[in-house]
Amino acid sequence: MTATVTRAGAERLTRQRPAPRQRRRFARLPAVYLLPAAAILIGFAVYPMFVLLRMSVSDVGPTNIVGEWDFIGLQNFAEVLSGSEVWQSALRTSLVAAVLLASNLVLGFLAASILAVGGRVTNLVLGIMVFVWALPPIVSGSVWKFLLDDSGAVNGLIGLVGVEPVSWLSSPSLALWAVAGVVAWASLPFSTLILRGGLLAIPAEVIEAAAIDGAGYWRTRFQIVLPLLRPTLWILAILTVLYAFKSFDFFYVLTKGGPGTATNTLPVQSYNSAFMNFEMSTGATVAVVSMLFVVLIAIPYVRSIRSEVSE
């Protein structure tokens, strides 16, 4: 196919389309503007990650934290992975992730459904939730430590109905669940807000059409709303697992990994190794192992984000 271009049209085209050299300059400019952000990202995220990886394959302790780090290959990984402690910590971290998934997805969905209806009460509850979410873990954790103490308010309340005091934080069989419960409480507002946003994005016509077709409330919830929320739920589930694998602050405040080793999760073990026992290499290795779990989970997250964008 040939096209005849008039002189005027050609002039217009020439005016509209920049010269090739100018085009290249414009095309290059955005990359130039990205430089500071890229430099900061490299400095504050990529470089520390590189140091962490290097530490995990070196022999680093207090004597040589400043100075030469002897490369020892995968010896640290062999030592850490051959011991039972890291696997027990990984299991505890996975249990915490399971509790958070149940809380964030199930309770989050229920709370979001209730709060999807507007009104003063909804606004008040949302305000309280944002406040809870914004509270520093050190502060809310300290409050929970007092509440869950043997002589704390929680035991005082259940004592009113004749229940014996429960050792929430000092029983090896309960402590992990108690701390996981506190972490779930702290992360519930975030999941509720995310799911509420997803619910509000569902067109009202779809719900109305389901009602006209005779679908009841629960059938609409399970067969219409949930499938439409699936991408949001999927992303929330991945973020929840990531949060569980990096959750440290509440464990530090409430139990410091105790009683015994009952609440020693991967982040707690990594911190204790590096900063309490000054076994920098072991701490770094546990952190890398934890990071590998996170990477495995993050890959589907990135893929789902991409598919969301392409849709």
Partner 1 sequence: MKNSARRTKAAIAIGAVALLPLTGCAISSNPSGDSDGKTTLTFWSYYQGAQKTWLEGQVSEFEDANPDIDINLVETVGDQQDQKLLASVATGTTPDLFINNIVVDFPTLVAGKVMADLTPYWEDYADSDQFPDGAVWQSDGKVYNLLPATNLLGMYYNEDILAEYGIEPPTTLSEMESALETVTADGTHEGLALSGAPSVEGAWLFAPQLLGEGVDYCNFEGSKVTAAFERLDAWSDAGYIPLSAATWDQNASWQQFVTGKYAFAFNGNWQLGNVADAGFSYGTAQYPAPDGGKSQVFPGGEGFAIGAQSENPDLAWKFLEEAILTPDASEKLFQSAGSIPIRADSADLPALADDEFVQPFVAAASDPATWPNNENTAEMQTALGKAVSAVISGQSTGEQGAESAISDIASAAEEGGGDC
Q: Which residues bind partner 1 (CB under 8 A)?
A: 21, 25, 28-29, 32-33, 35-36, 38-40, 42-44, 47, 61-63, 65-66, 149-150, 167, 169-172, 175, 255-262, 272, 275-279
C-beta closer to partner 1: residue 189 or 283: 283
Q: Smallest gap, in angstroms, from Cβ of residue 272 to partner 1?
A: 7
Min separation Cβ 83 and partner 1, Å: 10
211 token code pair = 């009602």
Least Å from the CB of residue 25 to partner 1: 5
Least distance (Å) between residue 70 CB and partner 1: 15
Peptide bond into 62 cis (omega under 30): no
Nearer to partner 1, 191 or 282 (CB): 282
Residue 93 or 255: the one with the smaller Cβ distance to partner 1 is: 255
Query: Residue 58: beta bridge partners?
Result: 71
Distance, C-alpha 15 to centroid of its chain? 50
51 vs 74, beta carbon nearer partner 1: 51
Name residue 72's amino acid.
Answer: I
Contact 167, 150 (CB under 8 A): yes
Torsions phi, psi for 238 (to 5 deg)? -65, -45
Q: Which residue has the tokens 């991967």?
A: 266
Closest approach of partner 1 to the CB of residue 162, in Å: 17
**Beta carbon nearer to partner 1, 51 or 130:** 51
Write down the least CB distance from residue 15 to partner 1, Å: 21
Question: Given the complex with partner 1, which of 35 and 160 has the nearer CB atom?
Answer: 35
Any idea of the CA torsion for 71, 72, 74, 78, to the nearest 10 degrees? -150
User: Tokens at residue 290, please?
Assistant: 């934890």
Q: Which is nearer to partner 1, 38 or 200 (CB)?
A: 38
Q: How far apart are CA 215 and CA 223, in angstroms?
A: 9
CA neighbor of 134 nearest in space, from 197, 190, 179, 180: 190
Please state the separation of Cα 122 from the chain's center in Å.
26
What would the two tokens of residue 74 be? 């995968």
**Minimum CB distance to partner 1, residue 43 (Å):** 4
Q: Where are the beta strands (DSSP E) in the chain?
A: 58-59, 70-71
